[in-house]
Structure 1
Amino acid sequence: MKDTSRFIFFLTLIFSSSTLLFSQEIPFQKEVKSLTERIDQKGWKPNSFVFTGSSSVRLWRNLQEEFPTIPIINTGFGGSQASDLLIHLDELVIRYGPEKVFIYEGDNDISAGKEATQIMTDIDLLVNRILQKLPETTIVLISAKPSPSRWQLKTSYTVLNDLMRQYATTHNQVDFMNVWDVMLDKTGKPISEIFIADSLHMNEKGYAIWNKSVIPFMK
């Protein structure tokens, strides 16, 4: 009788654990599904330039207008970290077979308390997976931006940016796009008028700076 009770207990425990596991939603799953469906409905071309990463990319809405001769696919998804992009890399990057991939991750990662070295581990995994599937693709790592709302984390962001810069110089097919310096005023602080009210996301003036910064990489 005791053995039967134990068996039933363990069966219940296994069933409960399995139910909990499968009931947990993959981060950003719904947003990514909706995003890819919209892209498919609109239509896309192979050998495009894919821009992906967190909300600073998602809100970069005038990219195609600025570069009309280059097919661009924007798969930015708000609030994401490098580890989230790893989960959805096939849907957001690989499936399009892009000629170039621009990645903006690290901003939310630092804000969430991650160390720069931990973020670089995820970025290295991203780069290796992309090049494994798409060996002819070039990857552009976009530096973290300086924003007033996260200025207290300045040191962590500059460390991350330095690591990304070093990484790009020592890895083939990886470039580094520095948006940090051009977003600072003469006193070395973030230019306040290029941000919206939340002091985190950019307005049109901010994206004008990004549009100018990306030109050398749009060849």
Structure 2
Amino acid sequence: MELKMKNLLLAGVVLGSLVLTGCATCEKAEKCEKAAVKEPFGYVISTTPTPRHRFSEPYNGWHKRYDAKRKQIADAKNQIDVVFIGDSITHGWENRASMEVLKKHFPKHEILNLSHAGDRTEHQLWMAGESGFFQPSGAYKGINPKLIVVLIGTNNIGHRTAGPEATAAGIKLIVEALRKNCPEAKILLFGVFPRAQNPDHVFRGQVKEINQIICTLADGENVFYEDIAGKLLEKDGTLSKKIMPDYLHLSPAGYEIWAQAIELYVKRFAPKE
């Protein structure tokens, strides 16, 4: 009885935060409320700004990476054109083969990649400048990007059962934080990429639900939404190892598809002669 009461109290706190943060529509708000009651811990974690902790070597690497990124920001002297935020898929732009794809499409652009393998919505929410229980990252101070590319959420469902609604709520808060802290930047939000080889895998359904919610964040003026799943998948709905060797992370061919989608917006909002 005591545990049940604690869960009900926590759900009440979460629902109260929903009233304050809001959702894209009443229907989406109802979905988020159901998510909070069904999985209060998943919702709270996904929407609470949190840096990765320093208790083990992988997490030390996370902080070292962002120390290096802060140096890049200082060295760039406010010349950052495009910012990437996300998880290992976006972090993967820094692999040798995918870096060649990036240089081919954006040879003159100064790109800041604030992604890190393993990141979930709560980590990138902290990076976007929200403090929660922690001091905000400050990563966006001193930069004025023209375009911010966002792809996040797959680790929320992959690392734990956060659920589509809770994951989408975290993504929504990231977009809102970016709009607040980089008001002049345009935001290009990508639908979570399909994962798992076969279309009937549980991850596919969860990704579809997330994307059905976050697509409503686009306003056609400051926030834009793109879903390139149709270009990543085979005609029968399966994923090919040529595009995603492990059915999660992109190959150079997959990054080429993604780069083409990004390029349309870079040319529009961050053109270089």
Match of 2:126 in 1: 87
Match of 1:7 in 2: none
Q: Does 1:117 align with 2:165?
A: yes
Q: CA RMSD in A?
A: 2.5
Q: Looking at CA atoms only, which structure, 1 or 2, has the larger radius of gyration?
A: 1
Moved more, 127-136 or 180-189: 127-136
* Distance in 1 between residues matched to 2:153 and 2:62, nearest whole Å: 19
Match of 2:235 in 1: 186
Aligned pairs for 1:142-161 within 5 A:
142-148=190-196, 151-161=201-211
Match of 2:76 in 1: 44
Q: Shift of residue 77 of structure 1?
A: 0.3
| Count of residues in correspondence between the two structures | 194
Q: Shift of residue 206 of structure 1?
A: 1.2
Aligned pairs for 1:35-74 within 5 A:
35-42=65-72, 43-46=75-78, 47-61=80-94, 62=99, 63-74=102-113
For the residue of structure 2 that corresponds to 1:103, the secondary structure is strand
- Unpaired segments of 5 or more residues in structure 1? 1-23
The answer to which structure, 1 or 2, has the higher relative contact order (CA under 8 A, 6+ apart) is: 2
The one-character-per-residue Cα deviations of 1:64-113 (angstroms, maximum 9, x if unpaired) are: 44201222111110011111111222348523332211111111112221
Q: Shift of residue 164 of structure 1?
A: 1.6
For the residue of structure 2 that corresponds to 1:193, the secondary structure is coil
Tell me the TM-score normalised to structure 2 length: 0.63
The question of whether the paired residues in 1 share the 8 Å contact of 2:228 and 2:258 is answered with: yes
The one-character-per-residue Cα deviations of 1:171-198 (angstroms, maximum 9, x if unpaired) are: 74111121211111111221232123x3
What percent of counterpart residues are identical? Answer: 21
For the residue of structure 2 that corresponds to 1:114, the secondary structure is coil
* Distance in 2 between residues matched to 1:204 and 1:213, nearest whole Å: 14
* Distance in 2 between residues matched to 1:74 and 1:33, nearest whole Å: 14
The question of whether the paired residues in 2 share the 8 Å contact of 1:50 and 1:93 is answered with: no
* Distance in 2 between residues matched to 1:137 and 1:119, nearest whole Å: 23
